[in-house]
Structure 1
Amino acid sequence: MAVIAMTREMGTRGGDVAAGVAERLGLTVIHHELVEHDIAERAGLSESDVHRLLEGEASLWERWKLDRTSVSRCTAQEIIELAARGNILIRGWGATHLLKDIPHVICVRITAPMVFREQVVMNRLGFVDAMRARREIERSDAAHNGTMQQLFGIDHWSEAENYALVLNTARVPVAACVAHIAELAEEEAFCETELSRSALIDQLILARARQAMDQRFGSKSLQNGFEVNVCNGKVLLSGGSTDEKMIVDAIRLLQGVKGVTGVESKVAYVAFVPHAATQDQSISRAAPQGQGPT
Structure 2
Amino acid sequence: MPIVTISRGSYSRGKEVAEKLAAKMQYECVSRDIILEACSEFNIPEIKLVRALHDAPSVLERFQHGKERYLSYYRYALLKHLQRDNVIYHGLAGHFILSDIPHILKVRITANMDDRVQEEMKRENISAEKALFILKKDDDERRRWGLQVHGTDTWDSRLYDLVLHIGNLTVNDAVEILEQTLQKPAFQTTPESKQIMEDMIKSSQIHSMLVDLSPGIKVVVRQGVAFISNVGKELKTDSTLRDTMEKNVRTVEGITSVVIQEPLMSKSAYINPYHNI
- Closer, same or farther: CA 66–98 of 1 in aligned 2, 3 Å: closer
Tell which deviates more after alignment, 64-73 or 131-140. 64-73
| Sequence identity (%) | 21
Task: Report the AA paired with residue 205 of structure 2.
Answer: R
Give the Cα separation in 1 of the matches to 2:8 and 2:51: 16
- Closer, same or farther: CA 66–267 of 1 in aligned 2, 3 Å: closer
Deviation of 1:119 after TM superposition, in Å, equals: 2.7
Give the Cα separation in 1 of the matches to 2:135 and 2:261: 49
Unaligned runs of 5+ in 1: 274-279, 283-294
Tell which deviates more after alignment, 139-148 or 168-177. 139-148
Residues 48-63 of structure 1 aligned to structure 2 (within 5 Å): 48-56=47-55
Give the Cα separation in 1 of the matches to 2:46 and 2:137: 21
Residue 15 of structure 1: aligned partner: 15
Give the Cα separation in 2 of the matches to 1:63 and 1:236: 24
Partner secondary structure for residue 163 of structure 2: strand
Give the Cα separation in 2 of the matches to 1:62 and 1:243: 26
Contact 1:106/1:185 (8 A) holds in 2: yes
- Closer, same or farther: CA 149–164 of 1 in aligned 2, 3 Å: same
Residue 113 of structure 1: aligned partner: 112
Partner secondary structure for residue 10 of structure 2: coil
- Closer, same or farther: CA 168–65 of 1 in aligned 2, 3 Å: same
The answer to whether 1:80 aligns with 2:75 is no
Residue 292 of structure 1: aligned partner: none
Contact 2:31/2:91 (8 A) holds in 1: no
Residue 145 of structure 1: aligned partner: 143
- Closer, same or farther: CA 171–154 of 1 in aligned 2, 3 Å: farther
Deviation of 1:62 after TM superposition, in Å, equals: 10
RMSD between aligned residues: 3.1
Query: Pick from 253, 257, 272: which aligns with 1:258?
Result: 253
Give the Cα separation in 2 of the matches to 1:55 and 1:239: 26
Partner secondary structure for residue 7 of structure 1: strand
Residue 186 of structure 1: aligned partner: 183
The answer to whether 1:219 aligns with 2:215 is yes
The TM-score with structure 1 as length reference comes to 0.79
Contact 1:53/1:63 (8 A) holds in 2: no
- Closer, same or farther: CA 156–57 of 1 in aligned 2, 3 Å: closer
Residue 160 of structure 1: aligned partner: 157
Residue 224 of structure 2: aligned partner: 233
Task: Report the AA paired with residue 210 of structure 1.
Answer: H
Give the Cα separation in 2 of the matches to 1:281 and 1:78: 35
Deviation of 1:79 after TM superposition, in Å, equals: 1.5
- Closer, same or farther: CA 9–170 of 1 in aligned 2, 3 Å: same
Higher strand share: 1
- Closer, same or farther: CA 239–115 of 1 in aligned 2, 3 Å: closer
Deviations 1:159-202 (A, max 9, x none): 11110000000121111100111111110111100000001111
Contact 1:247/1:267 (8 A) holds in 2: no
Contact 2:200/2:220 (8 A) holds in 1: no
Give the Cα separation in 1 of the matches to 2:114 and 2:242: 57
The TM-score with structure 2 as length reference comes to 0.84
Give the Cα separation in 2 of the matches to 1:177 and 1:80: 25
Partner secondary structure for residue 265 of structure 2: strand
Residue 200 of structure 1: aligned partner: 197
Task: Report the AA paired with residue 224 of structure 2.
Answer: G
Deviations 1:79-123 (A, max 9, x none): 111221211111132111111221100000001231232233334
Contact 1:43/1:70 (8 A) holds in 2: no
Residue 249 of structure 1: aligned partner: 244
Residue 170 of structure 1: aligned partner: 167
Contact 2:5/2:95 (8 A) holds in 1: yes
- Closer, same or farther: CA 281–136 of 1 in aligned 2, 3 Å: closer
Count of residue correspondences? 267
**Rg comparison, structure with higher value:** 1
